């Protein structure tokens, strides 16, 4: 792993993004941290800055101008980025028509458009030096059958997985590894933000991994050049079942379980 170039991590203020920042810091990788909440980024930078160089650039990726502005800020600071982690994301609870179009538009901007644009901006330099890493934090939800509620979440994560797979085929011959990380249920504040903590906590503990475990799995995978990685044995089994069981059976299983924790109203 090169330690003279930076890892840029979006959504680094909490959850899996913060854990990935800690994992890279543990490995001696300089960091550029970005998210909306600058105070959290500053606190994390103060901590991790004791072991590696850390730069904070606050940005709201729901703003269509943010990816280019972020790229220009990195260029102005004369920082070289050979690792991009597209982690920023969240969920929109309820059925599709229960939220405004502005809400959905911002969601698509953050989870799909910003990830695609940041990749487009930072990838050329990686390919030019024939070394780079792009870790896209997708979800097990992008691999299993759909359920009611959180209408765009699984669809966006499925898109991110396919985007990563195509990009990996294009870029690996040029020295750039691209990996889609597909976590299942992960201990973080994701479910608190979505108002799902009470219902989601009823699920078996065996389904859960910590953010730290997921981060290590993801970083190990992109360094090894794996195109896709699913965190945890149970999640791998779920993905296998979703792929090989008849659609009617998979739909019934996913839909039935999702009703326990997803608000579809």
In the set 6, 24, 153, 187, the catalytic residue is 153
Indicate if 187 belongs to the active site. Answer: no
Q: What is the 3-state secondary structure (H, E, C) of the chain?
A: CCCCCEEEEECCCCHHHHHHHHHHHHCCCCEEEECCCHHHHHHHHHHHCCCCCEEECCCCCCCCCHHHHHHHHHHHCCCCEEEEEECCCCCCCCCHHHCCHHHHHHHHHHHHHHHHHHHHHHHHHHHHHCCEEEEEECCHHHCCCCCCCCHHHHHHHHHHHHHHHHHHHHHHHHCEEEEEEECCCEECCHHHHCCCHHHHCCCCHHHCEEHHHHHHHHHHHHHHCCCEEECCHHHHHHHHHHHHCCHHHHHHHHHHHHCCCCCCC
What's the rounded Cα separation, in Å, for the pair 36 and 28?
25
Residues carrying an active site annotation: 153
């Amino acid at each position: 792993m090169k330690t003279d170039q930076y890892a840029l991590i979006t959504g680094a203020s909490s959850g899996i993004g913060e854990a990935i920042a800690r994992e890279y810091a543990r490995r001696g990788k300089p960091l550029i941290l970005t998210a909306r909440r600058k105070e959290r980024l500053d606190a994390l930078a103060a901590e991790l800055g004791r072991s590696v160089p850390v730069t904070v650039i606050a940005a709201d990726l729901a703003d269509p101008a943010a990816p280019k502005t972020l790229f220009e800020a990195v260029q102005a600071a004369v920082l070289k980025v050979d690792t991009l982690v597209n982690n920023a994301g969240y969920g929109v609870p309820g059925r599709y028509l229960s939220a405004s179009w502005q809400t959905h538009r911002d969601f698509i901007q953050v989870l799909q458009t910003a990830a695609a644009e940041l990749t487009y901006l930072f990838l050329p330099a990686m390919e030019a030096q024939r070394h780079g890493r792009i870790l896209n934090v997708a979800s097990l939800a992008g691999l299993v059958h759909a359920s009611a509620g959180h209408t765009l979440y699984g669809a966006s994560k499925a898109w991110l997985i396919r985007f990563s797979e195509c990009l990996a085929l294009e870029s690996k011959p040029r020295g750039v590894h691209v990996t889609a990380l597909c976590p299942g249920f992960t201990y973080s504040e994701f479910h608190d933000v979505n108002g799902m903590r009470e219902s989601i906590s009823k699920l078996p503990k065996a389904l859960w991994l910590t953010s730290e475990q997921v981060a290590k799995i993801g970083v190990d995978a992109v360094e090894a050049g794996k195109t896709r990685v699913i965190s945890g044995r149970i999640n791998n089994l779920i993905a296998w079942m979703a792929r090989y069981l008849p659609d009617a059976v998979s739909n019934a299983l996913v839909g039935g379980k999702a009703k326990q924790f997803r608000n579809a109203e």
